[in-house]
């Protein structure tokens, strides 16, 4: 697959996870926790794949890289808010919907503007890059290092301010 196809397929997974998470009820705490962990893991993997491999590769053909980086930070901040909340918080769904909106906008911009610009790299380069992205995706998904990063990040998010203490 070409790089843009690999990333679009992963966008579908991210959008699906957020849609499923937004549809859970306040009392489906176990399902919510699981979907939230899946979302954290997949978003981490996606951001790393793009920041390490894809964005540097399109630097010369796409003028909107700084916007894309800023959007990654915004997604990270909104994800942090979702991670800090208790899954049965009445505001949980609202926060998830806001994250979903930001992610939909960001992925749409990539698919409709950045990926068409990336075609200037040529079919062969995009296929090689696609193979690298898939390999990195597999490595990150399988690595204990990634699991450790996620655990540490989750712990950090919960320890830093904004923690909602339930009565």
Name the residues that contact Fe ion, by CB under 5 A: 50, 110
Distance separating the N- and C-terminal Cα atoms of the chain: 51
Rounded to a whole number of angstroms, the minimum distance from the CB of residue 134 to Fe ion is 14
CA angle 76, 37, 45 (to 5 degrees): 55
By beta-carbon proximity to Fe ion, the closer residue of 42 and 110 is 110
By beta-carbon proximity to Fe ion, the closer residue of 95 and 110 is 110
Rounded to a whole number of angstroms, the minimum distance from the CB of residue 11 to Fe ion is 6
Rounded to a whole number of angstroms, the minimum distance from the CB of residue 25 to Fe ion is 29
Number of H helices and E strands in the chain, helices first, is: 8, 0
Rounded to a whole number of angstroms, the minimum distance from the CB of residue 143 to Fe ion is 20
Q: Which residue has the tokens 């990270």?
A: 76
Report the alpha-carbon distance of residue 42 to residue 10 in Å, rounded: 8
By beta-carbon proximity to Fe ion, the closer residue of 42 and 50 is 50
By beta-carbon proximity to Fe ion, the closer residue of 49 and 85 is 49
Report the alpha-carbon distance of residue 57 to residue 129 in Å, rounded: 8
């Amino acid at each position: 697959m070409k790089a843009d196809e690999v990333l679009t397929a992963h966008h579908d997974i991210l959008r699906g996870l957020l849609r499923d998470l937004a549809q859970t009820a306040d009392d489906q705490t176990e399902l919510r926790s699981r979907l939230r962990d899946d979302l954290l893991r997949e978003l981490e993997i996606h951001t790393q794949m793009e920041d390490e491999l894809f964005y540097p590769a399109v630097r010369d053909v796409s003028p909107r890289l700084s916007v894309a980086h800023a959007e990654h930070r915004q997604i990270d901040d909104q994800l942090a808010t979702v991670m800090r909340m208790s899954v049965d918080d009445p505001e949980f769904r609202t926060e998830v919907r806001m994250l979903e909106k930001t992610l939909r906008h960001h992925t749409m911009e990539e698919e409709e503007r950045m990926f068409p610009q990336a075609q200037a790299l040529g079919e062969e380069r995009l296929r090689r890059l696609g193979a690298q992205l898939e390999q990195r995706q597999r490595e990150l998904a399988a690595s204990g290092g990634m699991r450790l990063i996620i655990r540490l990040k989750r712990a950090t998010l919960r320890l830093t301010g904004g923690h909602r203490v339930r009565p």
